[in-house]
């Protein structure tokens, strides 16, 4: 397993204004992103760790989780992190028709808009799967899709120490968008070790810019 997704070779040919795989390479910024929250048990200690290190991140939230934990979603935004759309139920998009796919996005946008006031949000498809018709629809509407350039592999449920060693063997680079999750303790365990190391290397941890 490697932290560098193979699909980047294809995605980087698409317009960067519509499909994002990297953040700004100016300076020494890293962009932490967290999928699948907000989670009542795991998101709060993660927010506390980020605050401890004055780090910002982007949270791609699931609509049904926002409905279950609205106060936690509001806390994420109030602490200076950006909100992204990760669908309403985290379905297999390739099994849905276009209308159902767009409904998943729009329902979640409505919930996010009630928190941060923005009409739409950068979208990250569950499992990174973006069916061609949906991608074409997003292109026509100039709707941004955000992927990642570095996969922490935390969903593999390997021990945190093993995942940290993989990351050390494949160092992050300025501008990397890191894929992580806030639905288990793994991201917290990994970042407790990695954030001090990255900051010692001169990296700043920033949130991705919000969409209009």
Tell whether omega for the bond before 38 is within 30 degrees of 0, i.e. cis. Answer: yes
HSE of 29 in the Cβ direction (CA atoms, 13 Å)? 17
φ, ψ of residue 6 in degrees (nearest 5): -65, -30
Active site residue 69: no
The catalytic residue among 181, 182, 183, 211 is 181
For 212, residues 6+ apart whose C-beta sits below 8 A from its C-beta are: 118, 119, 120
Active site residue 181: yes
First to last CA, the chain: 36
φ, ψ of residue 37 in degrees (nearest 5): -90, -165
Cα of 172 vs its chain's centroid, Å? 16
**How wide is the angle at C-alpha 27 spanned by C-alphas 26 and 30, nearest 5°?**
95
Say whether 207 sits in a helix, a strand or coil: coil
Q: Which residues are catalytic?
A: 35, 181
């Amino acid at each position: 397993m490697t932290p560098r997704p193979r699909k980047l070779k294809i995605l980087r040919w698409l317009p960067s204004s519509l499909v994002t795989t990297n953040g700004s390479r100016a300076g020494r910024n890293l962009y932490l992103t967290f999928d699948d929250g907000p989670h009542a048990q795991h998101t709060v200690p993660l927010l506390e760790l980020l605050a401890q290190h004055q780090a910002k991140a982007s949270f791609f939230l699931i609509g049904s989780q926002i409905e279950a934990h609205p106060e936690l979603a509001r806390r994420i935004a109030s602490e200076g992190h950006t909100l992204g759309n990760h669908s309403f139920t985290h379905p297999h998009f390739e099994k849905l028709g276009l209308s159902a796919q767009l409904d998943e996005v729009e329902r979640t946008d409505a919930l996010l808009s009630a928190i941060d006031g923005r009409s739409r949000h950068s979208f990250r498809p569950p499992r990174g799967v973006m069916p061609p018709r949906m991608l074409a629809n997003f292109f026509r509407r100039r709707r941004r899709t955000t992927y990642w350039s570095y996969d922490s592999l935390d969903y593999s449920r390997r021990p945190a120490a093993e995942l940290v060693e993989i990351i050390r063997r494949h160092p992050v680079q300025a501008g990397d968008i890191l894929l992580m999750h806030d639905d288990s303790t793994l991201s917290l365990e990994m970042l407790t070790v990695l954030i001090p190391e990255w900051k010692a290397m001169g990296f700043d941890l920033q949130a991705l810019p919000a969409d209009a």
